[in-house]
Amino acid sequence: MSFDIIETWLAKNPEAVGCKRDGQSIFRELALFQDYHGLPAFKQALVDFMAEIRGNKVSFEPNNIVLTAGATSANETLMFCLAEHGDAFLLPTPYYPGFDRDLKWRTGVQIVPIHCTSSNCFRITASAIEEAYQQAQKKNLTVKGILITNPSNPLGTTMTRPELNLLINFITDKQIHLISDEIYSGTVFNSPSFISIMEALKDMNMEKNNRVHIVYSLSKDLGLPGFRVGAIYSNDPTVVSAAVKMSSFGLVSSQTQYLLSVMLSDKKFRNHYIVENQNRLLKRQRKLVSGLEKSGIRCLESNAGLFCWVDMRHLLSSDTFEAEMELWERIIYHVKLNISPGSSCHCNEPGWFRVCFANMSEDALELAMQRLKSFVGSIKKHNHQESEKSRKESHIRKWFFRLSFQSFNEQDQL
């Protein structure tokens, strides 16, 4: 959605693209093996960018960051570092479907859901965390930590300070770890403002806590998933050391690091991009919400992310996940819109869907809204016809019953 801003910068900075510095080629320098720790210039530029997104309320130490090939690699690496095969991590629902792959497939780690519900807008509660922890213990699973996404994918919401404080107190009490996946931190386009787990720790005088770790990437905030740039931030030197060794299985290329180090060191570009991208996200989100409302569909109130958590429970034929999948298949195959069913995100309430709004043109979004409105209209028409049919059948049954009853009485009198 904001590629034009990046493309404008690239056009004005051909040296960064052409592997040059001060007019001199540095191709050979970049083409050879680099230190697994990453280019110092890039790590400094990255932590500065992370701090700016968080309003410079917190700062990050470059030596505490480990570069990985995207957030996928970062999350898996942390699982290998913090848990053994068969151990468990608690995750609030609904959560990103890819975690079932990223956290479990190769590590053998188990996911135990912290069930959150629409009754409180899917906020985390103390009772829900404790229930998940007890559930894991009943299964003889050793809980090694909690993993959260803040801002949330798929909810598009930021966590409140009470939620973050609750999590910090819980992991401190249980002596387990907390991973805060903050890859959408730069997409917060409306109030309330984003509170990083590092800011919450700082306010509790616990900023050096070595049981809290952050996952970050440039896939969402800069829209560069193809560049495969992710990072782990931890105050635990043992975790950093182990993660650096494991990063050899998924390094970020030297030319990518160099290009982005130049780009993110440009403060004017950084400031302009962050503000303009958030303004565009707000405009696009409002367009989606407005379009859905015209179709009689509500969304969970959101302030971040590239998607909305959409309530289509009233369109289900029944309150079941089978009905949810039936509706999803109709939207996919007949309406030709690609949305994610809530069950794929482990939501325990059928009828919720994740709908993206930032990965298409405005014209495409407008067309999507038109198709969805037409589809919902057809469902309402069908339901009305079925209701009329049912009403008529009921009327006929009542009439037939009265007639039969009258005939029976007449025969009885005879």
Q: What pLDDT was estimated at residue 31?
A: 82
Of 133, 171, 176, 220, the catalytic one is 220
State both tokens at 29: 């320098």
Residue 5 is among the residues annotated as catalytic for this protein: no
Condensed to tens digits (0 to 9), the pLDDT of residues 319-368 reads 999 999 999 999 999 999 999 999 999 999 999 999 999 988 889 999 99
Of 95, 96, 258, 273, the catalytic one is 96
Q: Go through the domains of the chain in sequence order and give each one's CATH number.
A: 3-270 (3.40.640.10), 280-374 (3.90.1150.10)
Residue 181 is among the residues annotated as catalytic for this protein: yes
pTM: 0.89
Residue 96 is among the residues annotated as catalytic for this protein: yes
Q: What pLDDT was estimated at residue 402?
A: 60
Residue ranges, the chain, pLDDT below 70: 382-414
Of 48, 87, 102, 181, the catalytic one is 181
**How many CB atoms sit inside 10 A of residue 343's CB?**
20
CA–CA dist 287, 285 (Å, integer): 5
DSSP output for 202-220: HHTT-TT-TTEEEEEESTT
CB-count burial class (<10 Å; 0-12, 13-18, 19+) for 18: exposed
Of 183, 214, 274, 339, the catalytic one is 183
Condensed to tens digits (0 to 9), the pLDDT of residues 166-216 reads 999 999 999 999 999 999 999 999 999 999 999 999 999 998 899 999 999
